Amino acid sequence: MTYKETFYKGFDAANKNILLVPVKMAATYALFIGFVIVLIIPIVVAALAFGTGMLASLKDLNINNIGELLSSKYLVLAVVIAAIVLVYITAASFVALYVYGGSCGMIAGGIRDEGFKFQMSGFFSEGKRFFGPVLGFTTIVGAVVIVILLLLVASVFPLKSIIHVLEGMNESLSMFMATLSVLVAAVTFLFLFAGTFAITFYGTAALVFKGAAATQAANEAVRFIFKRPSAFGFYMLCVVIYFSANVMIAGSVFGVALIPVIGTVMVFPYHLLVQAVQYYMGILFVAVLFSYYFGVEGQGSAPPISEMSTAAIDTSSGVPEPETFPAQQVDPDEGEL
């Protein structure tokens, strides 16, 4: 499969799942409305009930008088608000993972099943099926991100000590080392995070195509990238295209807003249209990466979506093993995957 065929198959899968756009938009607006109802409105009500004293206490809050806040009458209110925020973040994260898992499952179905048709029942089924694996996998990835951040923060202290020592020896050398350290840290930071997100998407592909467990998917994604470095290059190409297209699309909103009279009226509906296009671009981004992974690794062991509908058959009769397909052989010298 060539790169051209990969993009074509990704477009085909994204178009088959174009109804994911309103689904994702509805989930986003539902979370926003929930944020307003669960958090913003209670805070406004509390501010009205307690008066301006609470806001003044928050305004004057600093590390020196935090003890006064803990002993004040607003402590219970602060604890309640913090608990509400924690519950909301947890619920929003679960909803996002459910939608992500369902979307990935449907995109995978569109790639491996030529007769695939989007159905909400299939989306909910895939969301339920992949919620646990995606939760476990993203937890692993999140832990890796935290470790990377801690390592980068820890590297700042020895670098500052080295630069401080060089300052007493040679000012030009210390300035050069400081600039070099910042550049190396920035490049390392970007490379590690780009690699982490590449592992995230290729690992998700392993989840949906091969039915791998969370740890297996992480190991599979790392193996896939190290065994085939062009996979990381293809991911970076997709990232550049995705962000470039989104910047141009988002910039068009400001162009419409600058149009006299009509721009003021059209900016809101046009903004909704731009949001829909951006959601489609996100679906297309995932579809192209999944298409690349599928073209290299083959189907694996997970059955197509169309076969999942037969899961209602009595399990006592046994479920036949799905047919597996070997990974496709490719020739990198011919510009193929």
Kindly report, residue by residue over 142-155, the tens digit of the pLDDT.
888 888 888 877 87
Confidence of residue 281 (pLDDT cuts 50, 70, 90): very high
pLDDT at 44 over 70: yes
pLDDT at 331 over 50: no
Confidence of residue 319 (pLDDT cuts 50, 70, 90): very low
**Using an 8 Å Cβ cutoff, are 328 and 34 in contact?**
no
pLDDT at 23 over 90: yes
Say which DSSP state 72 is in: S
Residue 160, amino acid = K
CB-based burial label for 28 (10 Å; 0-12, 13-18, 19+):
middle
What is the C-alpha separation between 140 and 323, in angstroms, rounded? 30
pLDDT at 308 over 50: no
| Residues 6 or more apart whose Cβ sits within 8 Å of residue 171 | none
Higher pLDDT, 168 or 264: 264
pLDDT at 27 over 90: yes
- 143-152, 313-322, 327-336, range with the lowest pLDDT: 313-322
Q: What is the largest CA-CA distance in the chain?
A: 80
CB-based burial label for 270 (10 Å; 0-12, 13-18, 19+):
middle
CB-based burial label for 19 (10 Å; 0-12, 13-18, 19+):
middle
Can you give the pLDDT at residue 16? 92
Taking each helix axis from N to C end, the angle separating 171-210 and 75-112, rounded to the nearest 10 degrees, works out to 60
Say which DSSP state 2 is in: B
Residue 253 tokens, joined:
């909103």
Query: How much of the chain exceeds pLDDT 70, in percent?
Result: 76
pLDDT tens for each residue of 114-143: 888 899 999 999 999 999 999 999 999 888
Question: How far does the chain reach from its first CA to its final CA, in angstroms?
Answer: 6
Can you give the pLDDT at residue 66? 54
Which runs of consecutive H residues, i.e. helices, occur in the chain? Answer: 3-16, 20-35, 41-50, 52-59, 66-70, 75-112, 120-167, 171-210, 214-227, 230-257, 262-297, 305-308
Give the mean pLDDT of the chain. 79
- 12-21, 142-151, 250-259, 298-307, range with the lowest pLDDT: 298-307
Can you give the pLDDT at residue 152? 78
* Dihedrals phi, psi of 2, to nearest 5 degrees: -85, 170
Higher pLDDT, 2 or 225: 225
User: Closest Cα partner for 105 from 94, 93, 120?
Assistant: 120
Q: How far is CA 36 from CA 26, 42, 52, 114, 156, in A?
A: 15, 9, 21, 42, 39
Q: Residue 294 in 3-state DSSP?
A: helix
**Using an 8 Å Cβ cutoff, are 130 and 105 in contact?**
yes
| Residues 6 or more apart whose Cβ sits within 8 Å of residue 233 | none
Residue 335 tokens, joined:
């510009």
Can you give the pLDDT at residue 14? 93
pTM listed for this prediction: 0.76
What is the C-alpha separation between 301 and 13, in angstroms, rounded? 20
Can you give the pLDDT at residue 60? 54
- 184-188, 259-263, 282-286, range with the lowest pLDDT: 259-263
Can you give the pLDDT at residue 12? 92
Confidence of residue 11 (pLDDT cuts 50, 70, 90): very high
Confidence of residue 54 (pLDDT cuts 50, 70, 90): low
